[in-house]
Amino acid sequence: MEFAELSVGDQKLKLAVVTGSEQERAIDIRELRAKAGLITLDSGYGNTGACQSSITYIDGEKGILNYRGYSIEDLANHATFVETSYLLIYGHLPTAAELADFRTLLIRNSLLHEDMLHFYDGYPSTAHPMAILSSMICSLSSYYPDSLDPGDPAQVERLIPRVLSKIRTIAAFAYKKSIGQPVIYPDNSLDYCSNFLNMMFAVPSEKYIIDPDVVKAVNTLLILHADHEQNCSTSTVRLVGSSDANLFASIAAGICALWGPKHGGANQKVVEMLQKIDDEGLDIKEVVRMAKDKNSSFRLMGFGHRVYRNYDPRARVIKEVSDKLLAKLNRSDPLLDIAKELEEHALSDDYFIERKLYPNVDFYSGITYRAIGIPLDMFTVMFAIGRIPGWIAHWKEMHLDGDGRIGRPRQVYTGARKRSFTAIEQR
């Protein structure tokens, strides 16, 4: 076993070095406070490993992303989203029989309790679907009170297909309600992605023809979003879950974390940014200059990543999907041309080169969603649907393999030292 030595004053401490299966190394500081009275300070957790996990591997320098050892490119080319979900949650690619059983469970769980439909009437038509999604997912816990114990594997197994299947229905119903159309119930003769597209775009008055290329594109997008190890939303799911909150509540919290524009909300912001450039005829060089200006809060949305110091491998796959889909649909999109021009300028600019800022997954995903007809405020919802298997896998892993301790970071207090209370008349 390898050790690291830490000396503070005349104190010397031997700390074990833990090595992962891809030779990543970490110093185990679990005994640091007990032995030395010290904690570590790492705002943004950029150097902190919160757990050991066997779900997803990322090499940010080389631009590698693998789920359970399988490359994202292989999965995007050969697997469906449902197969990938099974892989993430259960650790292996399903056999034909396992996949058929899993599909049956998803089919059986596609409907919402009818009472939940009334919830939608309480939201204004302008409500952001992420607000609806998080509260509806949390509300599911009130319909399954007998399956909420995280410590009972049988109960957890019952909840997995429920959340994975119902999120599609909740999302599509939210969209239908926002545009004043009747909801379209799930059609269990359809596969996972076709069923979602049908609920989104079919109307009772005419037949909706599902384009297999669009289904393929949705499958790919959901696979690419399915997990990304300890990002903000997944860490949130783990942290909330560590208090033994139920799966629905933990995932609802993850949805809220994902909503932010620095995380999953970036896909909406990217298209808003490209639209603004187009509408106002902004010069690309000026946009890049603004993104570099430290006096401006403007950032190039869809650029940069905490982990990737290289092209985000998901962005590469999405760019290809987007090109193919637009060609097949015989459609051009001025925003795609702007995106490509912006990428070219940024990638040859010293500011972006020095900081290793490359396009991330969100840079091209919005263009693809637009081509499919997904409305702007549903982009982050699509990210959330895709991320469900990852959140489930992490929540489950934490309960099965973790040490059962509640997540609870420390802090370095910098406030006032002890003072005496001053009565209001003397203040």
User: Where do contacts with ligand CMC occur on this chain (CB under 6 A)?
Assistant: 44, 228, 231, 262-264, 266, 291, 299-306, 355, 357, 360-362
Cα dihedral 311, 313, 317, 323, rounded to 10, equals -10
Q: Are 192 and 80 in contact (CB under 8 A)?
A: yes
Q: Are 61 and 305 in contact (CB under 8 A)?
A: no
Report the DSSP beta bridge partners of residue 173.
none
Exactly one of 305, 312, 349, 394 is catalytic; name it.
Answer: 305
Minimum separation from the CB atom of position 414 to ligand CMC (A) = 21
Give the tokens for residue 194.
């076709």
**Residue closer to ligand CMC, measured from CB, 168 or 263:** 263
Minimum separation from the CB atom of position 340 to ligand CMC (A) = 17
Minimum separation from the CB atom of position 364 to ligand CMC (A) = 12
Give the tokens for residue 427.
């203040």
Minimum separation from the CB atom of position 356 to ligand CMC (A) = 8
**Residue closer to ligand CMC, measured from CB, 60 or 91:** 60
Give me the half-sphere count of Cα atoms (radius 13 Å) on the Cβ side of residue 74.
Answer: 9
Minimum separation from the CB atom of position 232 to ligand CMC (A) = 7
Which of 265, 200, 222 has its CA nearest to residue 385?
222
The answer to whether 345 is a known catalytic residue is: no
**Which residue type, as a one-letter code, is found at position 139?**
S
d(CA 417, CA 360): 44
Task: Kindly calculate the radius of gyration of the chain based on its CA atoms and give it in whole angstroms.
Answer: 23
**Residue closer to ligand CMC, measured from CB, 216 or 299:** 299
**Residue closer to ligand CMC, measured from CB, 140 or 300:** 300
**Residue closer to ligand CMC, measured from CB, 94 or 304:** 304
**Residue closer to ligand CMC, measured from CB, 93 or 307:** 307
Give the tokens for residue 140.
């599911």
327-353 exposure pattern, b = at least 16 Cβ within 10 A, e = fewer: eebeeebebbebbeebbebbeebeebe
**Residue closer to ligand CMC, measured from CB, 12 or 262:** 262
Distance between start and end Cα atoms, the chain: 60
Exactly one of 227, 312, 349, 362 is catalytic; name it.
Answer: 362
Give the tokens for residue 172.
């599509």
Task: Give start and end residues of each alpha helix (H) in 348-405.
Answer: 350-354, 361-372, 379-401
d(CA 270, CA 319): 14
Minimum separation from the CB atom of position 231 to ligand CMC (A) = 5
Minimum separation from the CB atom of position 342 to ligand CMC (A) = 11
Residue 3, H or E segment: strand 3-8
Q: Are 111 and 185 in contact (CB under 8 A)?
A: yes
* Biggest CA pair distance of the chain: 80
**Residue closer to ligand CMC, measured from CB, 3 or 45:** 45
Minimum separation from the CB atom of position 289 to ligand CMC (A) = 11
d(CA 427, CA 416): 17
Q: If you ran DSSP here, which 8-state letter would residue 38 be given?
A: -
Q: Which residue is nearest to ligand CMC (CB)?
A: 304
The answer to whether 305 is a known catalytic residue is: yes
d(CA 85, CA 227): 9
Q: Which residues are designated catalytic?
A: 305, 362
